[in-house]
Amino acid sequence: MYILGIESSCDETSAAVVSMGDGERRILSNIVASQIETHRLYGGVVPEIASRAHIEAISSITYEALSAAGVTIEDIGCIAVTSHPGLIGALLVGVNFAKSLAYAKGIPLVSVNHVKAHVAAAYLEYGELEPPFTALVVSGGHTSIYDVRDYTSFCEIGGTRDDAAGEAFDKIGRVIGMPYPAGAAMDKLAYEGKADAFNLPSPALAGDNLDFSFSGLKTAALNIINSERQKGSEPDHADLTATYTRVIVDAIVKKMSIAIDKHGTNRLVLAGGVAANSHIRAALERLCDKKGVEFYRPSLSLCSDNAAMVAAAGYFEYLAGRRADTSLNASALDGDMTV
């Protein structure tokens, strides 16, 4: 069946058509309109501007997705929309648009959790992948480890107590002069510096838990930058970025190693915008090789926010018999993950 996915939880307006069922998991179109250039002027996402930009783009992006897929709205068997978590005003644009379209055309509507959608990106890339598996979602808003029991039920087994890994990259990147979002530029610069140039605290919480805290690391890096600036100089950006990246990668490897041992993981899925980080990908690849775990990491275009992943997650909600109606509301919070 053809599923139309709609995504507007943060700063990308996206619509996609995927074909799912009878062994098929195929992306027919995946159109993403990024607002990054607009938000860059302010050094981060401005929620009100994001909502307005979604309103301007959503209708044309959706029709672009349908025509790029070579289908019409009449061919669509289900509309899947991200309803949570995210920026409330931004989410509401996609939810209201999807509700109106579904109601007007008499098409079933399903509500999708954005974090589950990031994980569902892996189904599109790996036709044979099926739960159960362990998933690490690292994005601008999340750093969470899930025990994925079936296609729609996730149990959170660990995660950050404060900031997300993406925020940690973006924040320090911004302070050293990189445009928002800084993740990809930090990734590149980390290759040019010494990874042991500074003493930075690990964002892995002590013990055999699966939890992180990035705020202490961020503060420590800021202190290094500020104390150099007070002396009229600047820390070496490449060295700082390399060290900062190394402690984040080491923490992720440490916690995922514990997760694999504790939960008998034999399949690991890496998802979310920060899953594009080449250092994290390479380190988890090595860890999975060492532990005999199958490693699934979607390609970069499916890691960042897009509606194909929303459509894929929506298909499994549809199969599970869940339906939304015109009472569907958006929510800034996660809501449906068990802990």
Query: Which residue is associated with the tokens 């289908």?
Result: 71
Please give, one letter per residue, the 3-state secondary structure of 62-107: HHHHHHHHCCCHHHEEEEEEEEECCCHHHHHHHHHHHHHHHHHHCC
4 and 15 Cβ atoms separated by less than 8 Å: yes
Supply the minimum distance, in Å, between the C-beta of residue 23 and ligand KG4: 28
Q: Is residue 175 close enough to count as binding ligand KG4 by CB under 6 A?
A: no
State the Cα angle at 119 between 113 and 120, rounded to 5°: 80
Q: Which is nearer to ligand KG4, 260 or 276 (CB)?
A: 276
Which two structure tokens, joined as six digits, stand for 200? 């930075």
Q: Is residue 239 close enough to count as binding ligand KG4 by CB under 6 A?
A: no
**Residue 181: contacted member of ligand KG4, Zn ion, none (CB under 5 to 8 Å, by partner type):** ligand KG4
* Cβ-Cβ contacts under 8 Å for 57 (sequence gap 6 or more): 13, 33
State the Cα angle at 326 between 19 and 313, rounded to 5°: 30
| Segment interacting with ligand KG4, rule: CB under 6 A, options 88-96, 127-135, 217-225, 266-274 | 266-274
Q: Is residue 169 close enough to count as binding ligand KG4 by CB under 6 A?
A: yes
Could you say which residues in the range 114-143 bind ligand KG4, by CB under 6 A? 139-141
Could you say which residues in the range 70-109 bind ligand KG4, by CB under 6 A? none
Number of residues that bind Zn ion (CB under 5 A): 2
Count of other CB atoms within 10 angstroms of residue 33 = 18
Q: Is residue 159 close enough to count as binding ligand KG4 by CB under 6 A?
A: no
Q: Which is nearer to ligand KG4, 158 or 273 (CB)?
A: 273
Interface mask toward Zn ion for 124-163; x: CB under 5 A = ---------------x------------------------
**Residue 277: contacted member of ligand KG4, Zn ion, none (CB under 5 to 8 Å, by partner type):** ligand KG4
Which two structure tokens, joined as six digits, stand for 107? 């098409």
Q: What value does the CA radius of gyration of the chain take, rounded to a whole number of Å?
A: 20
Q: Is residue 170 close enough to count as binding ligand KG4 by CB under 6 A?
A: yes
Q: Which is nearer to ligand KG4, 134 or 245 (CB)?
A: 245
Name the nearest CA neighbour of 187 among 241, 128, 230: 241
Number of residues that bind ligand KG4 (CB under 6 A): 19
Which residues are near ligand KG4 by CB under 6 A? Answer: 10, 139-141, 166, 169-170, 181-184, 187, 272-274, 276-277, 304-305
